[in-house]
Structure 1
Amino acid sequence: MTLADAHAVVTGAGTGIGRAVALALAEEGAKVSLLGRRIEKLEEVAGAAGAMAISCDVTDPAQVSRAMRAAREANGPIGLLVNNAGAAASAPFAKWDTESWRASLAVNLDGVFHCTHAVIEDMIEADGGRIVTIASNAGLRGYAYTAPYCAAKHGAVGLMRALAVEFAGKNITANAVCPGFVDTEIVAEAVRLITHKTGRSEDEARAELAALNPSGRLIAPREVASLVLELARSDRTGEAVELA
């Protein structure tokens, strides 16, 4: 797939990985539509990337439908979708209730479904497209105290594998990127939680999380963005690529 002039939609694009992906796509000449709940953050990225910012909560299918329609009106049919919106909360399994369980699945799994479902007809009609979902290595293995997040990310990986099979031979690819701990707001929040509950310093908490990555360091968002661009350009499909 040629990224120049392709219309790419990036969800959760206001900060972290989404921001890095949006900027990287813009550098490649793509027409980028940015979706997210915090319009101020989106507009900051839009200004830097020459992109379009659209307020959207991916857990609401009606909002997703309106956002994709607005994106099409501005930039044409959607050829690349980057499902990045997500949230991670931590608690012992016994303390999760149905409401908090559903909230985690809503953003981390249902949102992937809503956005992918909203763009797939564009790709079918164009005889081609790319879907890249930012999952997590929590979609490949388990972590304590994050049961809903792990379950949702496993589901997101499974969805990409299912779509890869369904659209095999139709030039529509579906892949998942599964990073370990990335230097984003989500990790910053985890650091704050660790320091609050354990009394460790922020540096100690960051080092503890970094040590969980085989590299021994936190991943930079631009590294994830580079992998997204690699998958968007290629014919590889059904992969869950770990980056740790």
Structure 2
Amino acid sequence: MRRVLVTGGGSGIGRAIARDFADAGDAVTISGRRQDALRETDGGRGMTLRPGDVTSEADVRALFDAPFDVVVANAGSAVVTPLAKTSLADWQTTIDVCLTGVFLTFREALRDMPAGGRLIAMASTSSLQGSANLSAYVAAKHGVLGMVRSLAIEVARREITCNAVCPGFVDTPMADGAVRNVAARYDISVEEATARIVEDNPLKRMIRPDEVVAAVRFLAGAEAGMVNGHALSVSGGEV
């Protein structure tokens, strides 16, 4: 039985990943800011629930009372606004959650991670390309991918891999917020806003959470032992 940690496990992609590992028989720990959301993710599966903030060094350290075999750094947030209108507070919050949170999580994981361990960062297609009105998020996700590629070289001799999963828009509450923002900004319907968001995706739809889960499951498996420093795009060919 593997020990698995999923940060940002209270909703969306993190919830789907955590449930997949738990249903496969792994011992799963999930962290997030809201205890009620973590309980909903667990749904009686017996996960270990650890409320906390990935931007807090003390909170992250408290997650690692024992080594984990798989660590999925999934916690994230985004603000949708032009750079010229982005406040320093919004910029810093995005960097803290999306980039520094991954750094703190991976740094702590590496203290005791055994050989065969898997570090997986939930990046984004925003790690691979730019997007208007998402400069803070794109900057943070580019940083995540740079860290993954560098860390992969550092940990390879320990037989640990470090990879990134890069989804496009995934059908989650976070994407719902983006759709509402677009609808409000352009005074259009939710349906029209959704169509605009997915227009660059060759499949013309959002990604399902289970499609992201499949990528994480692969990278966490023994068969992915020679996949290291990779950005796995889950985007229907958008990237």
TM-score range, shorter chain: over 0.9
Shift of 1:44: 1.2
Q: CA deviation at 1:205?
A: 1.1
Cα deviation, 1:124-156, whole Å, max 9, x if unaligned, reads: xx2231001110000001001111100100010
Q: Which moved more, 1:228-237 or 1:206-215?
A: 206-215
State the Cα deviation string for residues 66-96 of structure 1 (Å, max 9, x = none): 1223xx3xxxx21110010001111111112
Residue 21 (structure 1) aligns with:
17
Match of 1:115 among 96, 102, 105: 105
SS at match of 2:156: coil
Match of 1:6 among 2, 10, 23: 2
2:6 aligned counterpart, secondary structure: strand
Equivalent position to 1:204, from 192, 209, 215: 192
2:232 aligns to what SS in structure 1? strand
Tell me how far 1:99 sits from its aligned partner.
Answer: 2.1
Contact 2:55 2:100 in 1 (8 A): yes
2:130 is equivalent to residue 142 of structure 1: yes
TM-score w.r.t. the length of structure 2 is 0.94
Q: Post-superposition shift, 1:216?
A: 1.2
Q: TM-score, normalised by structure 1?
A: 0.92
Equivalent residue for 1:152, pick from 140, 164, 167: 140
What is the deviation of 1:119? 1.0
Q: C-alpha distance in 2, partners of 1:164/1:34? A: 24
Distance, in Å, in 2 between the alignment partners of 1:7 and 1:165 is 23
Count of equivalent residues: 232
RMSD: 1.1
Query: Which one of 193, 205, 210 corresponds to residue 222 of structure 1?
Result: 210
Structure-1 residue corresponding to 2:81: 91
Cα drift, residue 196 of structure 1: 1.4
> 2: CA distance between counterparts of 1:185 and 1:204?
18
> C-alpha displacement at 1:48, in angstroms?
4.1
Q: Which moved more, 1:144-153 or 1:200-209?
A: 200-209
Runs of 4+ in 1 over 3 A off after TM superposition: none
Unaligned 5+ runs, structure 2:
none
Distance of 1:191 and 1:223 partners within structure 2: 20
1:106 to 2:102 alignment: no
What is the letter of the counterpart of residue 64 of structure 2? Answer: M
